[in-house]
Amino acid sequence: MPGAFDSIRRVKNLIALALVLVTAAAAQAAPPRLEKHGTTQQLIVDGKPFLILGGELGNSSASSAEYMRPHWPRLKAMNLNTVLAPVEWDLVEPTEGKFDWTSVDELLRDARAHDLKLVILWFGAWKNSMSTYVPSWVKRDQKRFPRVQIADGSSMEILSAFSANTRDADVRAFGAFMEYLKRVDGEKNTVLMVQVENEIGMLPIARERGAVADKLHGGAVPAELMRALAARGEKLEPELRERWQKHGRKASGTWAQAFGDDEWGAEVFTAWHYARFVEALVVAGKRHYDIPLFVNVALNRTGRKPGEYPSGGPLPHLLDVWKAGTPTTDMLSPDIYFPNFAQLAARFNRADNVLFIPEANNATNSQGPANAFFSFGELDSLGFSPFSIESLGDAPNALARAYEVLEQLTPLLLETRGRGRTAGFRATIQEDGTLIDSPVKKSMAGIEFTVTFIDPWTPRDKQTIGDHGGLLIQAGEEDFWFAGQGITVTFKGADSGPPLVGIDIAEEGVFDENGVWKPGRRLNGDQTHQGRHIRLPPGQFQIQKVRLYRYR
Ligand code: DGJ
């Protein structure tokens, strides 16, 4: 009875189609989330992985839609896919309990109109240590919302982390914001993630004083922090491990007994209490709308003591304290303005912390693009985002060109990140700006790649070696993608196979809007120095597709 089989098949097909549509709709509506991917995590948006090619707005720009109007198309032209923008507590809750979401609505409207995603920065109780974004009714009520007291008893324009009133007010406002966000963006997913507070850190002392703070500091370290340190053991960040060790690796005791009676010990106390405050916000926020939430940090210079820099934030040496204090926060994320970008970024790429860079020097400092390539290729970064992005000159600028290439590579990067099939390269720069221009080596797929940042064909005094950088993606056993600028790569065998490695095919090209590779020139002659190396010349970001082969 072929007719009956046909109708059964038709019904089955309809059911299958309905299932596909329902699944696709569910994926579309599901909130952005982080998902395990190899050794790292993937940001999933609308059911698909997403890589953030971002830029953060200057602090005041998003408070005026009018001011932002000419900037949105420029940000789009710069090949950004995401803008990081503040939402201010003072603007959204000008009167206690009465919320005004105009600034949020305008941000969403304008980002959507320009096909851009947003990462929102919650400027709540603290912004760069200080408390300048809190509403007037908080600022002016010091009795209800106490300030940090320093050693001489005077107070700062910094809200105390030990006030339940302050915490609860910030929690209520942040919770209301997240609830609103779910209501207005839960289907569209314009907002990918939210940063909680901004660059928390105590100044100008390592821990606040006053009756409450002093009493807590004199008391016992919470058992959960002690347990977390013990559980992490040898994996603790070295500075904290040494400090804990030096004070007898205690399982209990006061803060001073466990971590020392100096400013470094005091900073551990500060970090814990900031983290606990943040945890209350994150838990409340996620209860309303469960999307990735993260905390950013202003980094410290070597040799400075706590109090001389914003102290107690999720700094590299305090990451374990923060992880224990706020287990619900998804990521601790560095703002990197120092020249030793690579070294600092690497500390935030941990098994329990995917790297995301919410702020970096903007592209007027042309090392930005090299840092972007490095962080995606070497450190599995979820995203990169220079600060004050709207103040850059019109595209094409170096960042726009770098993002154009990174956008083409995004599908490949998303597939390979966290799977040991990518590498990033840039010249090492020390904290004081000293450039180490020696080559770097990386082994992958049985081949040792040696990457030099000194271009063989450009006079040395015409090169800005600190800007040179790139990445490598392994596509198949012998197939690789190279991208970036100002790098030259040579190869040799690194396993028991034939020791010599030659270039079978090298070609430049672009991925078109459908992700199809469109080869340009085949590079067999001078461009590869007759097969001796792969060269991405300085001054132009590009992609080369390369097939290598082995011989004796
Ligand atoms: C880091 C802060 O997080 C930003 O909000 C801004 O103040 C920049 N510093 C300015 O360089």
Q: Give the closest residue (by CA) to ligand 1 atom 2.
A: 128
Over residues 6-41, the pLDDT tens digits come to: 554 565 566 566 665 555 555 557 999 999 999 999
* Residues in a beta bridge with 83: 55, 118
Q: What is the mean pLDDT of residues 78-89?
A: 98
Residue type for position 329: T
Please check the confidence at residue 74 and state whether its pLDDT lies above 70.
yes
**Measured CA angle at 500 (ends 498, 503), to 5 deg:** 120
- Mean per-residue pLDDT of the chain: 95
Ligand 1 mean position, distance from CA 208 (Å): 23
Give 272-292 as a 3 state SS string: HHHHHHHHHHHHHHHHHCCCC
Per-residue pLDDT averaged across 313-337, rounded? 98
Cα–Cα distance for residue pair 120/293, rounded to 1 Å: 10
Higher per-residue confidence, 61 vs 19: 61
255-312 pLDDT, tens digit each: 999 999 999 999 999 999 999 999 999 999 999 999 999 999 999 999 999 999 999 9
Band (366; pLDDT cuts 50, 70, 90):
confident
Please answer whether residues 380 and 39 qualify as being in contact, where contact means their C-beta atoms are separated by less than 8 angstroms: yes
Residue 197 CA to ligand 1 centre (angstroms):
12
Ligand 1 geometric centre to CA of 336 (Å): 10
The answer to which of 253-267, 348-362, 382-396, 401-415 has the lowest mean pLDDT is 382-396
Distance (Å, whole) CA 215 – CA 146: 16
Examine the pLDDT at 381 and tell me if it is beyond 80.
yes
Atom of ligand 1 nearest to the CA of 121: 5
**Measured distance CA(87)–CA(324) in Å, rounded:** 27
Query: How many secondary structure helices (H) and strands (E) does the chain include?
Result: 16, 25
Q: Is 359 in the pocket of ligand 1 (CB under 6 A)?
A: yes
Q: Whose CA is nearest to atom 5 of ligand 1?
A: 59
Confidence of residue 55 (pLDDT cuts 50, 70, 90): very high
The pair phi, psi for residue 79, each rounded to 5°, is: 70, 25
- Distance (Å) from CA 55 to ligand 1 centroid: 13
* Binding site membership of 88 for ligand 1 (Cβ less than 6 Å): no
- Under DSSP, the state recorded for 433 is -
Pocket lining: 490 vs ligand 1, CB cutoff 6 Å? no
Distance 128 CA to ligand 1 centre (A): 7
Say whether pLDDT at 345 is over 50.
Answer: yes
Beta bridge partners of 488: 452, 535
Q: Average of pLDDT values for 173-191?
A: 98
d(CA 48, CA 30): 11
SS (H, E, C) 314-340: CCHHHHHHHHHHCCCCCEEEEEECCCC
Q: With 70 as the cut, is the pLDDT of residue 4 above it?
A: no
Mutate to test the pocket of ligand 1, among 56, 57, 59, 336 (most ligand atoms within 8 A of CB): 59
The answer, yes or no, to whether residue 5 has pLDDT greater than 50, is no
Kindly list the distances between the CA atom of residue 23 and the CA atoms of 17, 182, 290, 335, 542, in Å, as whole numbers in the listed order: 10, 20, 20, 38, 38
Beta strands per DSSP E along 342-438:
357-360, 383-386, 422-426, 428-429, 435-436
CA of 192 to the centre of ligand 1 (A): 21
Pick the residue whose CA is nearest to atom 4 on ligand 1. 59
Handedness of CA 527, 533, 539, 545 (dihedral sign): positive
Average pLDDT over residues 203-219: 97
Q: What is the mean pLDDT of residues 130-154?
A: 96
Q: Which helix (H) or strand (E) holds 42?
A: strand 40-45
Closest residue CA from atom 6 of ligand 1: 59
**pLDDT at 327 > cutoff 80:** yes
Q: Does residue 159 have a pLDDT over 60?
A: yes
492 alpha-carbon distance from chain centroid: 34
Encoded tokens for 22: 């329902």
* Other C-beta atoms lying within 10 Å of the C-beta of residue 26: 10
**If DSSP codes are grouped into helix, strand and coil, which group holds residue 186?**
coil
Q: CA angle 104-106-112, nearest 5°?
A: 100
Helix (H, G, I), strand (E, B) or coil at 70: coil
**Contact 149 CB / ligand 1 (< 6 Å):** no
Is residue 59 within 6 Å of ligand 1 at its C-beta? yes
pLDDT level of residue 394 (50, 70, 90 thresholds): confident
User: Helix, strand or coil for residue 228?
Assistant: helix
**Given pLDDT bands bounded at 50, 70 and 90, which one contains residue 365?**
low
Peptide bond into 396 cis (omega under 30): yes
Cis ω for the linkage preceding 204 (within 30 of 0) = yes
128 Cβ inside 6 Å of ligand 1:
yes
Per-residue model confidence as pLDDT tens digits over 480-536: 999 999 999 999 999 999 999 999 999 999 999 999 999 999 999 999 999 999 999
* Cβ(199) – ligand 1 distance below 6 Å: yes
Using the mean position of ligand 1's atoms as its centre, give its distance from the Cα of residue 376 in Å: 23
198 lines ligand 1 (CB under 6 A): yes
Q: Around Cβ 257, how many Cβ atoms within 10 Å?
A: 15
d(CA 480, CA 499): 18
User: From the CA of 124, how far away is ligand 1's center (Å)?
Assistant: 15
- pLDDT attached to residue 336: 97
Among residues 319, 238, 335, 321, the alpha carbon closest in space to that of 273 is found at: 321
Closest CA to 523 of 512, 515, 531: 531
Residue 10's pLDDT is what?
60
